[in-house]
Structure 1
Amino acid sequence: MNWDDLRIIAAVRDEGTYAGASARLRIDETTVGRRLARIQRDLGVPLFDAVDGQRRPTRHCEAVLEHVGAMAAHVAAIDRIKESRSGPVGRLRIASTNAVAEELLAPHASSFLRDHPGLTLQFLTSSGNVKFSRWQADLAIRLRKPEKGDFTISKLGDVRLYFFEPADRTGGEPVACAYPDELDTIPEQQFLRAKRLTNLRCVTDNVRIIRTMIQSHQAVGVLPEHSCAALLADRSLRATLLPRRRDVWLLVQNHLKRDPATRVTIDWVRACFQDISRP
């Protein structure tokens, strides 16, 4: 058994398919299947069941991965040993939406990295939630509270939300921007549903698209405060503060909770959210 074999087990567990594990590890899909078959043969127990086209881990697989997680923590600790540098040392992967990374974290990242020369930040971003697993991210910022998971979760703060509409409605009914159906429970979507908008013809989870639409003065939509400073100053728009705020949550891998590099990064992330969470 070697480290590459263990990485294949974890990749298949996280991705659910040989193809997904192949893309993540950048090795051929047939190689993934062949090596996994050899691993199972060597161990003498099945690691995955095929269910509806997905590879579901067996209890034997989960037991193996418990040890793999501990090994990953030790590997990360070894990689952080650099005696030539003072202060915390490490590479932290932060998963978040594009808007959070660009508008809340990035403006403060340069000074943080200057003050901590031993740290490296890797931002993993998308318009939706980046997958958070032991192998793909160390910290994650979520705009919805996860129901469960093998990580530590704490509240970062809450974000004010604004509904924007053209101040001059003489040009006709503006296009309404809404979020996808899977986001029906968020305050933004519930507010829009309550208004019973009739011209709902733009659906996206990307706040930059919504912001651009609103800037045209021909659309309405809801945006978080950190994404709409310019819109709040635009006198051609009418802004309404929503009664509810959007909670923001921080997820941290359990095996990193006491790591010095992780602790200083967590403190920095919390500082980035201080201004938007004021009363």
Structure 2
Amino acid sequence: MYPAAMNWDDLRIIAAVRDEGTYAGASARLRIDETTVGRRLARIERALGLRLFEAADGVRKPTRQCDVVLAHIQAMAAHAEEIGRIGESLPGPVGRLRVASTNAIAEEVLAPRTGELLRANPGLTLQFLTSSDNVKFSRWEADLAIRLRKPDKGDFAISKLGEVRLYFFEPAATSAADAVTCAYPDELGAIPEMQFLRAKRLRARCVTDNVRIIHKIIQSHQAVGVLPEHSCADLLIDRRLRATLLPKRRDVWLLVQSHLKRDAATRVTIDWLRACFQDVARSG
């Protein structure tokens, strides 16, 4: 069993030093700092309890123990190459992508259409990261992210994914002033939903960023609130509710890690995301 400090990147350094004969050569080949090469090799030697290279005439030559390690590295490299070929037998693009979005969008817009995408692209795997909070996209916690607010800046590609219609619901039997008002937190004060509620001078009595909670309370016919079109299909046909289409729509933005913009699997996924929101718009 390898020590906890061992990883494939470290093993690649051993092979690079063997092939190039110097830390500088390995550094250039792997595109990492020469000092890093020496430090990581020293760490491996400490972990294994043996010496990997000896200096002779300015060249790093592998020790007998290193030759044994290198034999295993060569076998691992061959296995890694074989794993990489697995996708060649699958039609379409191959890749695993992490898609971040709110719970409501993942459940109501993406999930119903995910099966069709994955069946058509057997080499593609999607991982949904759902939260009411923004996943830290700048830290590469996700590959693509769907945002309901346009980010000010960041090292990623951003484009408008679509627009979402918004509906104001109120009990048909009473006025909005007599019902409980559901609203979003103050930090979301700039969104169209909150602007509409302020214009109507409705005081928030229930505050949440969870669309499903607002939906359930409105469904009780005791409250008013604003919901996106993908979250209210059943409410629109409820005769005990009045629905008003807001004049302003909610923009939806797509963020993509810059290094994935030309990746085939990413392009297929982006096209699918756009189609998902187009379907929502057509069904409204």
Q: TM-score, normalised by structure 1?
A: 0.70
The answer to whether the 8 A contact 2:170-2:176 is kept is no
Residue 239 (structure 1) aligned to one of 234, 240, 243 = 243
Q: 2:253 aligns with which of 226, 249, 254?
A: 249
Asked whether the 8 Å contact 1:81–1:89 carries over to 2, the reply is no
| 202 and 153 in structure 1: CA distance in 2 versus 1, 3 angstrom threshold | same
Aligned length: 211
Q: Which runs of 5+ in 1 are unaligned?
A: 7-38, 44-77
C-alpha distance in structure 2 between counterparts of 1:98 and 1:170, whole Å = 31
In 2 relative to 1, CA 210–2 (structure 1 residues): closer, same or farther, beyond 3 Å?
same
Aligned AA for 1:225?
E
Residue from 114, 135, 150 that aligns with 1:109: 114
* Partner residue, 1:66: none
Corresponding position of 1:227: 231
Structure 2 matches for 1:134-149, cutoff 5 A? 134-149=139-154
Counterparts of 1:244 and 1:171 in 2: how far apart (Å)?
Answer: 20
User: Matches of 1:128 and 1:143 in 2, distance apart?
Assistant: 11
The percentage of counterpart residues that share the same residue type is 73
Is the alpha carbon distance of 1:139 and 1:215 closer, same or farther for their aligned partners in structure 2, counting shifts above 3 Å? same
Gaps of 5+ in 2: 11-35, 41-81
Q: Give the residue type in structure 1 aligned to 2:121.
A: H
> Given residue 174 of structure 1, which amino acid in structure 2 is its aligned partner?
A
Q: Which structure: larger Rg? A: 2
> In structure 2, the residue corresponding to 1:133 is in which secondary structure?
helix
Task: Give me the TM-score of the superposition, normalised by structure 2.
Answer: 0.68
1:208 to 197, 209, 212: 212
Could you tell me whether the CA contact under 8 Å between 1:134 and 1:253 is conserved in 2? no
Q: CA deviation at 1:132?
A: 1.5
User: In the TM superposition, what is the alpha-carbon distance from 1:276 to its structure 2 partner?
Assistant: 3.0
Which letter does structure 2 place at the counterpart of 1:104? Answer: V
For 1:249, the aligned partner's letter is: W
Label 1:217 to 1:5 Cα distance change in 2 as closer, same or farther (>3 A).
farther
The Cα of 1:133 is off from its aligned counterpart by 3.1
Kindly indicate which of the two structures has a greater share of residues assigned to helix: 2
**CA positional deviation for 1:87:** 1.7
Q: What is the alpha-carbon distance in structure 2 between the residues aligned to residue 172 and residue 249 of structure 1?
A: 34
Structure 2 vs 1, CA of residues 156 and 150 (structure 1 numbering), >3 Å: closer, same or farther? same
Whole-angstrom distance in 2 between the partners of 1:140 and 1:132: 7
- Summarize deviations over 1:208-231 as a string: whole Å, max 9, x none: 000000000001000000000000
Pick one of 154, 162, 180 that aligns with 1:157.
162
Deviation at 1:275, TM superposition (A): 2.6
RMSD, aligned CA: 2.7
Q: Give CA deviations for 1:104-157 in whole Å, capped at 9, x if unaligned.
A: 000010111001000100000012333213531000000011110000001011
Amino acid at match of 1:243: P
Check 1:166–1:252 CA distance in 2 against 1; reply closer, same or farther (3 A cut). same
Q: Partner of 1:220: helix, strand, or coil?
A: strand
Task: Indicate whether 1:88 and 2:96 are aligned.
Answer: no
Q: 180, 185, 188: which is aligned to 1:175?
A: 180
Q: What SS class does the counterpart of residue 137 from structure 2 fall into? A: coil
d(CA) in 2 for partners of 1:142, 1:260: 22
User: Which residue number in structure 2 is paired with residue 31 of structure 1?
Assistant: none
- Give the letter for the 1:88 counterpart: P
Do the aligned partners of 1:97 and 1:130 also contact (CA within 8 Å) in 2? no
Q: Label 1:141 to 1:171 Cα distance change in 2 as closer, same or farther (>3 A).
A: closer
The alpha-carbon deviation at position 167 of structure 1 amounts to 0.4
